[in-house]
Structure 1
Amino acid sequence: MTSPFPGLNPGDPGYWEVIFDVIPFPVYVADSVTHDIICTNRAMRQKVGVVQGRKCYEAIYQQTQPCRFCRMPEMMAQSVETSLEFEHFNDRDDRWYQLRETMLTWFDGRRAKYSIAVDISALKGFQNALAEAHAELALKHRDLEKAVTQARDAERAKSEFLAVMSHEIRTPMNSILGMVHLLMDRPLAAEDREKLAVVHDSGAALLGIINDILDFSRLEADGVQFENTPFHLGNTVEGVVSLLRGRASEKGLTLALDAPTPLPGWVSGDGSRLRQVLINLIGNAVKFTTQGGIVLRLSRAAEGDGYEFSVIDTGIGLDSAQAESLFQPFHQADASISRRFGGSGLGLAICKKLVAAQGGEIGVDSTRGLGSRFWFRLNYPAAAAPAAEPPRADAPALPALSILLAEDNVFNQKVAAGLLNREGHRVVVACNGQEALDKLQGENFDLVLMDMQMPEMDGPEAARRIRAMPGPVAGIPIIALTANAMADDIARCRAAGMDGHVAKPIDPRLLRATIAEVLIRQALPGEDGERGGHSLTRMAEQLGNENAAILARTFMDSGEDICGRLEGAGGDLRIVGAAIHELKGLAAYSGTPWLENLAVSIGKAMQDGDTDQMEQLIHRLRRDWDDTRADLARQFGL
């Protein structure tokens, strides 16, 4: 081989150094057995500072003995390249290199490693920056998780606070309003009755503020469910205006309805929530208007199923700054508003959440001193009018019942006992859950009214103990009578085995209706809850045979009407949806789970678009309903 370099031969190590020196990357050759560096190029000597004669594991890897990289030739197949990375430190800079190694035979016959080092410091810098960014992102993620946890804890703390405050405020309010109810039922002088009416109205106003706070809390937690059933839009708005016209007249104001003629008819949506928003807005207009009047204007959108509702007043009005923040919770136009007119500042925030949750929008147009126009828009698709319901018998009066009242508060004991005694019931008082258990073991009762928070043993625990008692007493109806009015509290009552819930302050009509509902629901199902075992014996015992027969007839008429509407729907999903909604309510109220299960199945088939399955289930409903109706007819001679 002729050498291109004068004075150097291929067998001379210097020959290869000259050749390697033209390579811009650091290069070295090392003996694969002794690990001695045989040859280096200029780039290796200048950039890395590695010279021949040293061990490669010392010069390259800063190790005191052969490392896994030095043993690599033993693990490599012949002429296979292997990529390695190492970090080299010197006085000038810290650099990262990637080695590309391959095996070769040196000029003297030795097996050697031929290594080219590529500077990858820029790549490493990018990787480090990426790692730092990832670490920072992970830190932010942890901070976000911590913030979410703190927010959940804060929401839970707020809910717990609201529950406690609701209980603490409702407990004395129950005594106040309950005693007022009892006093107003007695013969009174006109002046005394007027004073009691002031006390009652003030207590009711305070209770309204409490309910606003609870409503807002439920809306924030997405705890409000919206119905989608047929309701008469025209009748709804007319009813709201009629309801509030008396309040407006008391202030010398007019309240008028401006709506198309004829009024809109049947639509699909949540009529009760529309009513709630309208009552709030018109009530505010009456409150803040001292002369002139209020108009509720109903107009149809140019396209689609939209309606616009406007409440226009000649009241105090707002400037632009006040209007911008008016729908925020606990906010009123200025501090003087709450002093002059009262209120919690939650009503408009509740309206906004109710409208937004139904896909609508709400706003206000106002000028200071010239009145306001509060408006909102919602979509209400047209719906078929439900079939006329058969005339229903009046709800039967309750017979005299023997009631165990578990209540620790002395004033609330007197209020509840007074209201129940007035209805002709016999009341025995227990001051805590344990005392209630003792009295149930020694005496027969028709019903238990159970407070939630009591010393020694609270209401839910007492209910669980009652349900575990041997014999018929385990099935005694239990109604929670409590100042805890949050959704979680109601769920706790149900989970403990209670059959109903009445919030304090006690509304005598609601208490009476709840007792009747629970007794009826307990009486209709059979012992095993299956079809064919639904004896009405217990209901007849509680309400009397005549009243039980009235309820059975009403149940039969309602069920027959629902089945007829389903069979005549002709595939109209709006009619089917409305009918099964009523069927589920009727079945749950009457304690006929086989009908409720069928209603759920029909609803699922409708949602899935399986019309064949829906029709088959409606035919099955007819068979099951006929059997149920025949059983009731035989039992009551109907």
Structure 2
Amino acid sequence: MRPSLRQAPCAGTAMQMQASMAAVLDHLPVGVVLIDPAGRIRHVNRAALAMFGAADASDLVGKPCHGTLCELGCCSVLDPAESTASYEAEALRADGTRIDVLKSAIRLDLNGERLLLESFIDITERKEAEEVRRRSEARFKTLFEHAGDAIMIHDREGRLLDVNQEACARLGYTRRELLAMTLTDVEAADAPPAPPAEAADRPAVYATAYLRRDGRRLPVEVSARAFDFAGRPAVLSIARDITERLQAERQLQQAKEAAEASNRAKGDFLARMSHEVRTPINGVIGMTQLAMEAESAHEQAEYLHAVKESADSLLAIVNDILDFSKIEAGKVHLDLARFSLRRCVASAVRSLAAPAEAKGLELLAGVDAGVPDTLVGDAGRIRQILVNLVGNALKFTDEGQVALRVVADEVAAGAATIHLAVADTGIGISPDKQRTIFEAFEQADGSTTRRYGGTGLGLAITSDLAALMGGRVWVESEPGRGATFHVTLRLARPDAADEPAWLTRTDLRDMPVLVVDDNATGREFLLAALAQWDMRPMPAADGCDAMAKLRAAAAAGDPFGLVLLDADLAGADGFAVADAVARDAALDAPVIMMFHPARWQDVDDRLATGTLAAHVTRPVDPEQLSEAISKALNRPGRAQPPAASPRPAPRALHVLVAEDNRVNQVLLERLLKRRGHRVTVAADGAAALDAWRAGGIDVVLADLHMPALDGPALAAAIRRAEGLTGRRTPIVAMTADATADQRGRCLAAGMDAH
């Protein structure tokens, strides 16, 4: 039933009632507006005046509701006679601004007039708060879904209430699957559990591990704290993947342990070097003293031989330390030039023949026929690698053999990859030590240094040098079964690479040759060397086998044209076999004896009697073998130069030695005088310059580091003085620094050689 007011019995009563109503409306906390049937504002209460920003009722009364309190066409109360339920709307204020209101309208009859009573509640602050909350929720949702960490919301019992996309991606589950799980379901069984729910009332950070759908572990660091989620207590857990951090921590720990191990190794190295350096120094001092007191030349020679051995040992230690220091400082530069690989190999092996023979070891070397001989590289450093590896093998081998094999892994037009392999029958290396032995200051066993000596830097130097040449180093070994060290080197090939004549000779094609050697590896290397000249080699393992094959070939009418015979055959001496061949008239094959230097006397005796046609020392150098074959067959393998007239004896020179070290002065003076030269010694650069100015000097040997004037300054002073005379005195620099940079500085200062 519509509200209505009965018509008043008199005008006074009606006015009183209207005044009373106005007073009541003014005390209401909501804005009230009375609108007549024409849609004009009839009355507003105080709350409405304040709400709409009007100073006085006259600012609103009499004006149309639409356009004054609301936008035209925007009000849902189009018929003033209709009542409406509450709804939210936007209202206009007197200053043109808008406010959000909760509006309702009631139709009533007042004194027979149909009016509309509208009430307004200002909800602007509430709407603003809702907007702030909506934006906050939107930001949270954006951050929640786009966070780089896995975020999970769970209740106090661990049931998952919400998860973000990163959590799904990290764990491998769909959102629906995760929301049907609990926190315990995703935690690894052996991982530290989450703190109790009550602990989440304050922020908690802990490390744990989740289990992915595929069974893999996901180590995480979780930050958890309690909060209100949709009106219920919950816990927000942010889990960060710490896989990389843990890996970095492990690597850091490994690096720390490696650094500590390196420091320990360096300490051990210094302690060893203190011993290694002092030992030969003591030997030099002690044996020198004994040599000075010796009464016989034989005794003195014995002591001096020991002095030389100690000095050689000390020099090897110093060279290793200096080389490694240069490599560590990045100051090693390769001196690239054309060189013969086979001559480099022969030189390295020949230098180690004496220590091999002293230990009773067989030292063998073979270069595959497919390996190019003329290459571009640092021959000195390659020789150093070979000496390091072969010398190391000899050091750790007490019986058996050491064999160097050279093959080509790849040969292209402009480059070749050369593979060096040194195999020994020594003590071997355990698998856990095979990687560390190439590190500085490391050896397979600290006791090896005490037993075998050395710096322990040789393999580290070899590894670094190989890396400089584009290669690498590795080892294959078993304890007690020897070791094989491998090195690859990437070397350039010159554009016009003519191989040496001895390597490509064709005059031996199809010649049958008997190779007599009781060492299988030695036979293999010799057979390969002879095959590259297209000869027809046949092996024999001992003297009996050799004689049988020689006689069988002669009887068949295809005798051997040559015999290569090892002097030290097992069971039968090689010289006895050579004697037997010489006595048998049916055997007319020239014999080339392969021997160790200790048997020179036996060789000389057979050469004198004609039993031997030629000889080569072991390890066999293929170039020397070619020369020996030519001599034995009386067929030179290369063109012989025309006979030269006898060379005159070298004339005696007046040599100026500029050297401040007394020992070096004596050494140089004695060596030069033994060769018939006259020597003047100057102890510093200034004295040397005065001696040169005195005249008569044929050549100057100048130390680079002297008082008064150093070597380069002395050379420069001499060259300036010579500019006035037109003559030039040869000046040779003397220094232990053999680098290309130092040589360049010497030449730039006016010196002629270094």
TM range, normalised to the smaller chain?
A: 0.3 to 0.5
Q: What TM-score results when the alignment is normalised by the length of structure 1?
A: 0.46
TM-score calculated relative to the size of structure 2: 0.39
Q: Which is richer in strand?
A: 2
